[in-house]
Structure 1
């Protein structure tokens, strides 16, 4: 890979600006993704937090579902936070009947697993493979992972409930690393992107 990675951030709804700002700050090149043309030449993509059913509907409205699904199926690295984790999962246990996730990582998720907005919380979270001590994780109407498929590694838990997982190409968190001053999760994703691009 020559130069900084080009990371797209799905910019249809939710907290995409915080991800763009964080990635810019740590040296990545970034691009908001709003159309199929925006997927060209990306080294990785971020699916932000927001409202997962709305994001799924907008993927269809903006004709992004098919090209994004194809890119993910051929190994485009992806990172999803909160709603982004739901969108990247292959099964949503309590989603709407018409909610179709992208099935980029074989796991089942439950929306709002930790309660409503008023039940939001922060905690110091041990994340496997992340050096530097616990990560300050912000949970806002957070989902949780209910089951995982082949090749998925759970890397963080809260009270025994999985809240972060990864495969070789996909990283998902139930929390919002973009809302804290700690940039290690985003740096981990850039490392995954670099590993994918390395011959």
Structure 2
């Protein structure tokens, strides 16, 4: 079994192996090109992202700067937005649904070191996948740790450190991140009313 196969299967692996180093170098170069594009050159950024990422839908917008380890383990749905300075460490799959929004400096970390120093000192690490379902909003500077899933429609507050799964339809915050409350009919009524007001103003 190769080091890449070990990495993708969630086993301990050596990230310094030649093939993995070459793959990371390719991703770094594509990220450099992406981050150096002119602000108005959306077409060039989309072209680079489609070469960098494993798969992405329509209307995917990532503000530079953006960094990732490999890119090939990242799948993004449609109508996705990520603000400035996001980092995705994709040694394991990162799967993101549609209508997901990330604030600035959101970090998705699938990589983890062994907790035992003697094993960690051998330069071994592992990866666990991250899954973010449709219509999730993650606030600025939040960190999502290896192996976490976030359910559809949930809101993660700015600065949260998400170390365990978050169910659908809740607001969660803190370090470690915990569910504060479910999203309710009162939330829906409030924001639908605000939307109707917005529509009325636009039609005037």
TM-score by length of 1: 0.24
- RCO higher in 1 or 2 (8 Å CA, sep ≥ 6)? 1
Mark the structure with the bigger radius of gyration: 2
